[in-house]
Amino acid sequence: MTAHLTPATLRAAAFSTFGPRGTLQGALDRMGFVQADPIRAPARAQDLTLMQRVRGYRAGDLERLYPKLDAEEDMLPNYGFVPRQVQALLHPRVPARSRAELQHPELFAQVRAMLHERGELHPRDVSAALGQSRVTNAWGGQSSATTRALEALHYSGEARVTRRVGGVRLYAAASHLQALREAPLPDEQRLRGAVHLLAGLYGPLPEASLGYLISLSRFGFPHLHGPLRAVYRQVVKDELQSGTVEGMRYVWRAEQLLDVRAPRGVRIVGPFDPLVWDRRRFTHLHGWTYRFEAYTPLDQRRMGYYALPVFQAERAVGWANLSVNSDRLQADFGFVPGVRQTATLRRGLETELGRYQAFLGLRG
């Protein structure tokens, strides 16, 4: 237990995931997982997360530098980027047969053969060679069967993403996972490592929220979901620190320091950033509910299509909607009732917008 645990203590400790701004590889290694999302408003989620943690980061750096990094695209608990040391926890993965394989078994076998016979594959080239069959995707629409087959092979660990061209993933055989397929890490080591990674990345967080992350991690460990729940309960009981504040039980890794100073200045943070991701923690610690409204009907939005929470020191004081028009950054702000728009806050916002201009490669 930690003495004198307060909302202010937890708010400051939550910023520990930021760390000092360093290199891109250093940030990936320290975090262990960076969630990805294709929406660009004003930049993709992975770029918004990394700009807060990497010195001199520019939008698109992860995609440009990916082939040279110790990084792979994979699933834990959502889709994103992990160092190979973390990917070793995820494989071998034994998923159920994909919809593409069930609906087009012969085509799926042909895609697998191309993957192992050739080098890098663009989905367009695979479709040109094998045809334009369609398959129902996870959202009820229709997708190219060959693309879905490549995605399924990637998920199972037979394929890896080599790079992106115009946002499209290119694939090759995941030869680096062959050793794990032949001699995987012990299941308990894999699962315990995943629980500690999530607790470190998102902590300190409510125990109920960590449980929700573990439930999502069934996508990372589809054949080990039952054992994952058991290991999670053991880790929470025996290996994580815990404390209760205002009736809510929080957990965090033993090495995570909670006696830290609150950060200074203003930050505009992406909606998938670990600082924001857990809405239960956000509401409890900041006293208001942040809403991600990209998929909310226009007439029902309160904050905006892609509102980015605004922090002053460790407190979330409002949100920003950022857009680019004629190569210039435009910003619309909303603030929580009672927040005073002081000269210090205005200067902090100007400084942060200047960082965003540089991050996006825009004129001042």
Give the residue-averaged pLDDT of 268-290: 97
User: Residue 110 and residue 242: Cα distance in Å, rounded?
Assistant: 51
Residue 304 belongs to a domain: yes
pLDDT at 140: 45
Last-in-domain residue among 181, 212, 238:
181
User: Residue 114 and residue 145: Cα distance in Å, rounded?
Assistant: 14
pLDDT at 135: 55
Q: What is the pLDDT of residues 208-230, one digit of tens each?
A: 999 999 999 999 999 999 999 99
> Which stretch of DSSP H or E encloses residue 334?
strand 328-335
3-state DSSP assignment of residue 309: strand
Residue 217 belongs to a domain: no
Report the DSSP beta bridge partners of residue 332: 321
CB under 8 A, 24+ apart: contacts of 84-88: 84/176, 85/29, 86/32, 86/33, 86/193, 86/197, 87/177, 88/180, 88/185, 88/190
User: Residue 290 and residue 91: Cα distance in Å, rounded?
Assistant: 35
Tell me which residue range forms the domain holding 318: 266-360
Residue 51 belongs to a domain: no
Phi then psi dihedrals of residue 257, to 5 deg: -85, 130
Give the residue-averaged pLDDT of 324-333: 94
Here the tokens at position 293 are 């409204």
Q: What is the pLDDT of residues 170-199, one digit of tens each?
A: 999 999 999 999 999 999 999 999 999 999
User: Residue 184 and residue 156: Cα distance in Å, rounded?
Assistant: 14
Residue 145 belongs to a domain: yes
Residue 313 belongs to a domain: yes
Residue 218: how many other CB atoms lie within 10 Å: 15
Last-in-domain residue among 154, 181, 208:
181
Q: Which residues contact 117 (CB under 8 A, 6 or more apart)?
A: none
Residue 287 belongs to a domain: yes
Total domain count for the chain? 2
Q: What is the pLDDT of residues 24-66, one digit of tens each?
A: 999 999 999 999 999 999 999 999 999 999 999 999 999 999 9
Residue with more model confidence, 71 or 101: 71
pLDDT at 364: 61
- Find the CATH number of the domain harbouring 141: 1.10.10.10
Task: Write the DSSP string, 228-258.
Answer: HHHHHHHHHHHTEEEEEETTEEEEEETT---
pLDDT at 103: 85
Residue 307 belongs to a domain: yes
The two beta strands, 315-325 and 308-312, are antiparallel
Whether the predicted pLDDT of 142 surpasses 50: no
Last-in-domain residue among 156, 181, 206:
181
3-state DSSP assignment of residue 140: coil
The sign of the torsion formed by the CA atoms of 203, 208, 213, 214 equals positive
Residue 27 belongs to a domain: no
pTM of the predicted protein model: 0.93
pLDDT at 288: 97
3-state DSSP assignment of residue 39: coil
pLDDT at 4: 77
Given the structure tokens 């729940």, which residue do they identify? 229
